[in-house]
Amino acid sequence: MREFRRNLWRHAYAWVLIVFTIFPIWIVFTSAFETTGTLVTTSIFPTKAGWDNFTLLFHSSSIPFGAWIRNTIIIASLNAIISVLIGAAAAYAFSRLKFKGRRIGIQALLLIQVFPTFLALAAIYVIMGEVYKVFPAFGLGSLGGLLLVYLGGSMGINAWLLKGFIDTIPAELDESARVDGASPMQVYWLIFFPLSAPVLAVVALLSFIGTFNEFIMASVFLTDPQSRTIAVGLQQFVGGQFNQNWGPFAAGSLLASIPLVILFLSLQKFIVGGLTAGSVKG
């Protein structure tokens, strides 16, 4: 009993944090089933519960919800995979290969990442407009062009994070592999890539989530309703001044969270080790 009283404040503090975290999720959940299209703020349960909001998302000809989900999953998956592959190769080069300007290059790469991508929004808009004249599939208004912008924004920080992990791998491993006749590419694919699986999974997860939730760049680049991502598409329900419809917005947000939850649970065993990997060089 004495131990319980001593730790009572800790339990109370933990429950306050739990309630504080669950409350907005519960509001979204209840609003998704509220048929009046408003946020549930006066009761913890919907006043008129139903599936109308979900039906509207999938049966309205003016709401291509399926296309929004598909576009978002495709571009987020490609960004996660490509950024990890290129970032891991760059991290390996900066960590293990000797070349002139290596230290200055990695420092410059990190310095550039200090400035958010949307600060260069005007310049990127003009550049991608010119690219559209030559390569329409990768120009302004295309998912391919948006993917290129995302890759450019995430490449530097991914390379820096992965380099920190590769620095912790003993150099004796690749030295012994080279003695056995392995090439640098074989050392990379057969030794470093498997050993880096936890941090690679975390970097891929963070890239996927960041791309999935990104709104500013996608709202500027994607003008065709069929090519929008889920964040841009759902904004139309609450973006108007007099026609805010929170019901479909909450329902769409609830459905859009399912791929993120599945991905998070499937990579859960890598997350604990991957988040701290590379933080201490030993």
Backbone dihedral angles phi then psi of residue 243, each to the nearest 5 degrees: -125, 45
Q: In this structure, what token pair is assigned to residue 95?
A: 């960590």
Q: Are 113 and 164 in contact (CB under 8 A)?
A: no
Residues of the chain predicted below pLDDT 70: 1, 4, 37, 40-43, 240-243, 271-282
User: What is the structure's pLDDT at 238?
Assistant: 79
Flag whether 55 is in a domain. Answer: no
Residue 97, number of CB atoms within 10 A of its CB? 10
Flag whether 147 is in a domain. Answer: yes
Q: Are 145 and 126 in contact (CB under 8 A)?
A: no
| Among 116, 89, 279, CA closest to 184 | 89
| Among 10, 13, 19, 36, CA closest to 251 | 36
Flag whether 255 is in a domain. Answer: yes
Are 202 and 140 part of one and the same domain? yes
User: What is the structure's pLDDT at 275?
Assistant: 52
Are 219 and 83 part of one and the same domain? yes
User: What is the structure's pLDDT at 96?
Assistant: 81
Are 12 and 69 part of one and the same domain? no
Residue 187, number of CB atoms within 10 A of its CB? 20
Structural domain span for residue 179 = 64-276
Flag whether 59 is in a domain. Answer: no
User: What is the structure's pLDDT at 82?
Assistant: 92
Q: How many domains does the chain have?
A: 2
Are 258 and 138 part of one and the same domain? yes
Q: In this structure, what token pair is assigned to residue 16?
A: 């306050």
Q: What is the reported pTM?
A: 0.83
Are 89 and 217 part of one and the same domain? yes
Give the model confidence (pLDDT) of 196-223 as tens digits: 888 888 888 888 998 998 888 888 888 8
Flag whether 69 is in a domain. Answer: yes
Are 89 and 173 part of one and the same domain? yes
Query: Which CATH number goes with the domain that contains 266?
Result: 1.10.3720.10
